[in-house]
Amino acid sequence: MYLRTILWVLIFCLIGVGAVHFREKKIQEHYKLTAITNETKPEIKWFTQILDHNDRNNKQTWQQRYYAYDKFYDPADPGLVFLLLEGEGTLSDNFVAKSYWIELSKKFKALAFYLEHRFYGESHPTSDFSMNNLKYLTSQQVLADTANFVKGINKQYKLSAHTKWVVFGGSYSGNLAAWFRLKFPKVVYAAVSSSAPLKAKYNFDEYLTVVVKSLRAKAPGVQCDQKVQAAHEELVKRMQESPEVVVKDFKVCKPYSEWSKDDLKYFYSSLTDDFAGLVQYDDVSSVGRKSYNYSINKVCNNIFKDNSPYTALVKFRELSRNLYKQSCFNVDYNNWIGSLKNESLSISPERLWWYQTCLEFGYFQTSDKVVSFFGNYFPIDYFEKICKSAYGERFTKKFSESGIAKTNHYYGGADINGSRILFVHGSIDPWHVLGVTESRPNMPRIYIKGSAHCADMYQQEDGDSKEINNARKKIKCYLEKWLHRKTVQ
d(CA 201, CA 435) in angstroms, rounded, equals 11
Q: Please pick, among 92, 99, 139, 171, the residue that the annotation labels catalytic.
A: 171
105 in catalytic set: no
Q: Are 10 and 16 within 8 A, CB to CB?
A: yes
Of 102, 181, 191, residue with least CA distance to 147: 181
Q: Please pick, among 282, 332, 429, 464, the residue that the annotation labels catalytic.
A: 429
Helix, strand, coil % over all residues of the chain, rounded to 5: 45, 15, 40
92 in catalytic set: no
CB atoms within 10 A of CB 375: 19
| DSSP-H helix ranges across 242-332 | 243-249, 261-280, 287-291, 296-299, 309-323
3-state secondary structure of 201: strand
d(CA 246, CA 243) in angstroms, rounded, equals 5
Residues in the chain: 489
d(CA 129, CA 157) in angstroms, rounded, equals 33
**How far is CA 33 from each of CA 29, 88, 195, 281, 462, rounded to the nearest angstrom?**
8, 18, 20, 14, 15
Name the residue type at position 147.
A
425 in catalytic set: no
Pairing of strands 61-69, 43-50: antiparallel
Q: What b/e string do you get for 188-223 counting C-beta neighbours within 10 Å, with b at 16 or more?
A: bbbbbbbbbbbbbbbbbbbbbbbbbebbbbbbeebb
**Strand order of the sheet with strand 445-448?**
43-50, 61-69, 111-115, 80-85, 164-170, 190-194, 421-426, 445-448
3-state secondary structure of 115: strand
Q: Please pick, among 105, 453, 456, 464, the residue that the annotation labels catalytic.
A: 453
Q: Can you give 3-29 as a three-state secondary structure string?
A: CCCCECCCCCCCCCCCECEECHHHHHH
Sign of CA dihedral 275, 437, 366, 86: positive
- Tell me how far the alpha carbon of residue 352 is from its chain's centroid: 13
- Tell me how far the alpha carbon of residue 323 is from its chain's centroid: 19
Q: What is the DSSP letter of 304?
A: I
**Residues annotated catalytic, as ranges:** 171, 429, 453
